[in-house]
Structure 1
Amino acid sequence: MHHTPQTPTTAKNPALRKLLTASAVVMGVLLTGCAALQPASPEEAVTKRADQRWKALMAADWAKAYSFLTPAFRSTMPVDRYRERFVGVPRWTNVTVKSAKCEPEKCTVVVRIEAEYGARSGIQTLGTDVPETWLQEDGTWYKYEAM
């Protein structure tokens, strides 16, 4: 006589029903978490990095700001020499990333910089839009800096 093993059904087994419900909840949480970890669009990613770089510059955190520059630039220019580029610049009061337009592996970011400078009539604030070029290397966006 052939004996077919019985499989428990959820209707007859409350413990199994609870286990399956808990498993479904866990899978839902994991899938939601995975969706949140999806890579940002190139525009979102480069906007975030440009903003982080400018926050570092405004805080005079030269090493951190330097880390956003292309590896090729960093291989030829030490951080101390890079810092010297900012001697005598007006005091930045606000920086906003206005836009980012990307092609594969290259983005143009427009940054609005507001700075204070001394004038005959006293301290003045000037705002200007500055384009920046960002290049993607090994999945990371870096600001291109001319030598």
Structure 2
Amino acid sequence: MKEIVMKTRFSAKGAMRAGAMIMAALSLGACATMDSGTPEQIVTKRAQAYWDARLKGDATTAYGFANDAFRQAVSEQKFKQGHMATFAVGAEVQKVECDAQKCDVGTNLKVNPPLPGKKIGTIDVYSKQTWLLEDGQWKLFMEP
């Protein structure tokens, strides 16, 4: 019997290219899964993730939710300095109403107000935000 031997040549460059293609495919699949559903469902998840990042002090993640015009005008460092401070200790998205390009979001915030000499405990504050559809992704509208 005659043996047939196949020789396969692997190069580091080819392996890296194949790995990059696999990672890109997995990333696209993850994005599609993450942002699937109705606009209300998508924006509810994104708005909650924004507030979760703010409450954790994760400026990079919170900044990433902002609309493009805001991010072009305000650096991440300036955002961190001017927008991350909060007296909120909890946040829960309560209401999301959308049309084709815009969603109005209502979030219940649990806030510990800083009242010198007084401890009143946590109070509820209702916050309203607008989310806009930009280039296929819902982003938090912020004034630069």
- Confirm or deny a common fold (TM above 0.5): yes
**Cross-structure match for 2:70:** 73
Q: Aligned to 1:121, what secondary structure does the other structure show?
A: coil
In the alignment, does 2:86 pair up with 1:102? no
Q: Percent identity?
A: 27
Measure the CA separation in 2 of the matches of 1:51 and 1:123: 26
Q: How does 1:113-132 map to 2 (within 5 A)?
A: 113-119=109-115, 120-122=117-119, 124-132=121-129
Q: How does 1:126-141 map to 2 (within 5 A)?
A: 126-141=123-138
* 5+ long unaligned stretches in structure 1: 1-35
Provide the TM-score with structure 2 as the length reference.
0.70
1:118–1:124 CA contact under 8 A, matched in 2? no
Q: How does 1:8-27 map to 2 (within 5 A)?
A: none
**Cross-structure match for 2:60:** 63
Q: Size of the alignment, in residue pairs?
A: 111
Measure the CA separation in 1 of the matches of 2:119 and 2:82: 25
**Cross-structure match for 1:41:** 38
Provide the TM-score with structure 1 as the length reference.
0.69
The one-character-per-residue Cα deviations of 1:12-42 (angstroms, maximum 9, x if unpaired) are: xxxxxxxxxxxxxxxxxxxxxxxx8993000
Measure the CA separation in 1 of the matches of 2:123 and 2:37: 33
Relative to total residues, which structure has the larger strand share, 1 or 2? 1
Change (3 A) 1:79 1:38: closer
The one-character-per-residue Cα deviations of 1:96-140 (angstroms, maximum 9, x if unpaired) are: 000100011100000111111233332521211111000001211
1:43–1:101 CA contact under 8 A, matched in 2? yes
Measure the CA separation in 2 of the matches of 1:49 and 1:68: 8
* 5+ long unaligned stretches in structure 2: 1-32
